[in-house]
């Protein structure tokens, strides 16, 4: 299957700092990537849809100025958590959409980034 990498895998930062997370599709081009957030023992919550060359589409209740998304190329999307606070601590997961052919569209997920804000 297709491979999606995510970096860093974990990060600890002080409150007030900004953290950038990278999501890369390694063996396919992804015009669309997605960013999710997952709290312990819960399902994934979609934060935003990242489209190459255009602005991201944020889900209701997600602060776009807080979570900056940049999709500068067909293989890279970044999520920047600005002025992070302890409540931003979470597991962030990206996915990249492989359009495929013949109805084989699939989202492949990165390994996730654990963010701890002190």
Please tell me the distance from the alpha carbon of residue 65 to that of residue 14, in angstroms, as a whole number.
19
Could you count the other beta carbons within 10 Å of the beta carbon of residue 69? 25
Q: Which of 21, 34, 37, 77 is in the footprint of another protein by CB under 8 A?
A: 34
3-state secondary structure of 9: coil
Is 83 near another protein (CB under 8 A)? no
Is 42 near another protein (CB under 8 A)? yes
What phi, psi does 86 have (nearest 5°)?
-50, -35
Is 58 near another protein (CB under 8 A)? no
Q: Residue 49 corresponds to which tokens in the numbers above?
A: 């849809």
Is 7 near another protein (CB under 8 A)? no
**Residue among 82 and 112 whose Cβ is closer to another protein:** 112
Is 54 near another protein (CB under 8 A)? no
CA distances from 77 to 16, 43, 54, 86, 115 (A): 23, 22, 11, 24, 17
Is 112 near another protein (CB under 8 A)? yes
3-state secondary structure of 87: helix
Is 89 near another protein (CB under 8 A)? no
First-to-final CA distance of the chain: 37
> Stretches 18-26, 64-72, 79-87, 101-109: which one binds another protein (CB under 8 A)?
101-109
Residue ranges that bind another protein, judged by CB under 8 A? 1, 32, 34, 41-44, 46, 49, 57, 91, 93, 95, 97, 99, 103-112, 114
């Amino acid at each position: 299957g297709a491979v999606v990498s995510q970096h860093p895998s974990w990060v600890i930062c002080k409150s007030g700092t900004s953290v950038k997370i990278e999501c890369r599709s390694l063996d396919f081009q992804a015009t669309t990537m997605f960013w999710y957030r997952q709290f312990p023992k819960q399902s994934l919550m979609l934060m935003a849809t990242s489209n190459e060359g255009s602005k991201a589409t944020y889900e209701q209740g997600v602060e776009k100025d807080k979570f900056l998304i940049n999709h500068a190329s067909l293989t890279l999307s970044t999520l920047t958590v600005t002025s992070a606070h302890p409540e931003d601590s979470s597991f962030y997961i990206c996915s990249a959409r492989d359009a495929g052919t013949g109805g084989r569209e699939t989202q492949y997920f990165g390994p996730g980034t654990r963010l701890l804000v002190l």
